[in-house]
Amino acid sequence: MAVKITSVEPGSPAKHARIRKGDTLISINGNAITDVLDYRFYMTDEKLEILLCDEQKKLRTVFVEKDEYDDLGLEFETYLMDRQMGCKNKCIFCFVDQTPKGMRKSLYFKDDDTRMSFLFGNYTTLTNLKESDIQRIIKMHISPINISVHTMNPQLRVEMMKNPFAGEALKFVKMLTDGGIKVNTQMVLCPGYNDGEELEYTLSELSKLGENVQSISAVPVGLTKHREGLTLLRGFFPNEAKQVVETMERWGEIFLQKYGQRTAYASDEFYILAGKPFPDYDFYEDFSQLESGVGMMSMMLHDFALALSQADEPQKPHKVTVATGELAYPMLQGFAQQVKERFPQITVQVKKILNDFLGHSVTVAGLITGQDLLAQLEAVEIGDQLLIPANMLRHEQDKFLDDITLVEVSERLGVEVIPVENDAFELLDRMLYF
């Protein structure tokens, strides 16, 4: 499938070769271009023979010389240059299936696109791929790939993902690692399904795949109050969460001895559920699964202490409020106390926002809605600014999950609302310097 060019960057190699908006890109050096992976892989050569079709359906060939890996300078109708692959699974733990009606359309799309895994770090189950797709990944050395494994037991994977191909697709994990592709793997653990002995089996099987399995994370199933008609699931009890943490730490030691890296980690949420302290900063090595909630708390604790030790005296006293979810609340309370002890003229108030919209079992800040924020803060004396985690908002940082805008929240509360990234240095700056 050829792809249409929507714009050509001024001064780019493509512009110099007189490639035009409206042209259709057919091939580069004889290789058909069907999506962004083809384009990015084949355009890296220094000498390119590019076959195009103009808007009058006339074919022409242009030649481009450029430095290796320089961008050609073309843009297309969609970033992927193709339709995004949706998910064909019906996982018993799927969070999208637990999302109430009436929210924006994008929240109901189930992504399962390997290209998004490589480009943006999304996780893919591999269930909508063929062997030819895997060979293409290996040929292009698209690495790393993030894989939602969940279990290495083929029958159990079919049962949990409600896809008859889910078990067979596990062979692709070995094909990728044998082909030199690094993989990050994740397991959403559900009590009574893929924990306990099944977790031991999965870790054992992954350990056989060698050093190209660069990380393994275990995260607890997330359950909202909107589960009508779905598989009956529950959360982890503290003793069960403790067992998961101990299992992941024991296997981490096995990986460390065998391959020189810890590889296997339980998410921060498992440590909280188990009532266990977070491991030290160095435990997490390169923090390979921060986006899965692995090591985020340890990193923030370490970095906040460092940032506070280097902080300059604030120029004027003020008060800020930090809104967060239940999961991070104790840590942020600790940060507020540290600021008070170091700079008594600064008041940091931390407010825990309960998730009434999705249910109180959802404790992460990133799933808090604008309506819950407003309902629980309208009677609060906020002070000079309200700080919120940036992941409460979509990527454009203008709307919450329920489509309430940042401007609406600011106007309703009568205070400036500042989104803050998961960065302890930025967080402290916002607390201290108004």
d(CA 191, CA 128): 27
Write the pLDDT tens digit of every residue in 300-358: 999 999 999 999 999 889 999 999 999 999 999 999 999 999 999 999 999 999 999 98
Q: Lowest-confidence range among 196-200, 275-279, 293-297, 362-366?
A: 362-366
- The residue type of 221 is V
Q: Lowest-confidence range among 15-19, 240-244, 277-281?
A: 15-19
Position 35 confidence tier, pLDDT thresholds 50, 70, 90:
confident
Tokens of 77: 């109708």
Residues listed for the chain: 434
295: alpha, beta or left, given left = phi > 0 and alpha = psi -120 to 50?
left
pTM for this prediction: 0.81
Residue-level pLDDT at 97: 76
Asked if 50 and 62 touch (Cβ cutoff 8 Å), the reply is yes
331: alpha, beta or left, given left = phi > 0 and alpha = psi -120 to 50?
alpha
Asked if 122 and 87 touch (Cβ cutoff 8 Å), the reply is no
Position 114 confidence tier, pLDDT thresholds 50, 70, 90:
low
d(CA 242, CA 219): 13
pLDDT mean over 120-126: 76
Residue-level pLDDT at 283: 97
Residue-level pLDDT at 108: 46
Tokens of 148: 């939602």
Tokens of 183: 């993989």
Task: Name the average pLDDT for the chain.
Answer: 89
The neighbouring-strand residues paired with 272 are none
d(CA 359, CA 366): 14
Write the pLDDT tens digit of every residue in 209-247: 999 999 999 999 999 898 888 899 999 999 999 999 999
d(CA 109, CA 265): 28
Residue-level pLDDT at 397: 65
Q: Phi/psi at 246 (nearest 5 deg)? A: -65, -40
CA dist 310 → 183, 332, 342, 425 (Å) = 37, 19, 11, 10
Nearest of 9, 29, 13 to residue 21 by alpha carbon: 9
Asked if 170 and 117 touch (Cβ cutoff 8 Å), the reply is no
CB-based contacts of 202, cutoff 8 Å, min separation 6: 149, 151, 152, 153, 187, 194
Residue with tokens 């001895």: 257
Tokens of 393: 């908002």
Residue-level pLDDT at 115: 52
Asked if 227 and 274 touch (Cβ cutoff 8 Å), the reply is no
CB-based contacts of 291, cutoff 8 Å, min separation 6: 121
Roughly how many angstroms between the first and final C-alpha of the chain, as a whole number? 53
pLDDT mean over 123-140: 86
Asked if 371 and 392 touch (Cβ cutoff 8 Å), the reply is no
Q: What percent of the chain has pLDDT over 70?
A: 92
Residue with tokens 């191909």: 165
If you compute the radius of gyration of the chain from its CA atoms, what whole number of angstroms results?
Answer: 24
